[in-house]
Structure 1
Amino acid sequence: MQNNKNNIIGAMIYFLLSAVLTGIFIGNKFWLYDSVSSMVLSGSIAGGKWLIQIIAALIFLKEKKWELIKRIGLVCFAGSCVLFLYNILSYILLPLSGFSLFVISIMASVMVMISMYYKAVQKTGLPVKWFWGWMLCLAIAIFLQIQLVF
């Protein structure tokens, strides 16, 4: 029972910190968005793929649900940290800037999350279909970001 409590608290902390960092990332890119509504939609799409995985874990997993949720919370947080590096790198004189650095940050974040999510599923002892389910959510989220936000 104590382990579940630690997993729940850990998951809440990871997802909260991730939401804050992602919000700052989106807010600092105001010049990319047509409106505040587009910024909210972008954040909602980004968060939606995680919410789907959390709901799936709560519904379909028994003993391992909180273990998985904490692990994917860490994945989400790591992805947000990689995104947040954009805010720091944008102040350093680099040959890349603006939109190019934005795209590279997103690509780096996605690559880190893909690797970490796969490992989270493995460490939790779940079938690989959990990873592929998240990959489907990720692909849909990227499609929606491109079609609806940008």
Structure 2
Amino acid sequence: MKALIQRVKSAHVAVGDKLVGQIGVGVLAYVGIGRDDDFTHACKLIDKILSYRIFENTTDSDKLGKMDKSLADVGGGLLLVSQFTLMAHTNKGRRPDFAPAMSPNDAKVLFDKMIHYAKSVHPNVQTGEFGADMQVHGINDGPINFLLEV
């Protein structure tokens, strides 16, 4: 399981003309689910996203400006967007190989469980719409981006 996380000033997801998820300061996370992933991986990834220290310390003078705070510490929003293309093999040829990705039906079930878990441990969780043609808008803060894997 992988997540490309971006520290954002704000982000939102639309499907057509409908806004389906929106956050202010926080993390926009694109989530790729592999064929061997399970709920344990999903929980570990959410825990890692919430505790990964990518926000600047603005209170402790010794650590001022250092990335020392997590999403949980700053109380920011988490916008989860399913992104099967993160699982693609890209090392050969000129076309991505999506064989490592979980089947859409199984991935939706696991992604829904991941969302439920995230909402149980963090107060501000929003999502895109699984499998939809989404327009994702984000104002990167930094830009600060990391690829997390569990």
TM-score normalised according to structure 2 size? 0.29
Q: Which has the higher contact order (CA 8 A, sep 6+)?
A: 2
More helix by share: 1
TM-score normalised according to structure 1 size? 0.29
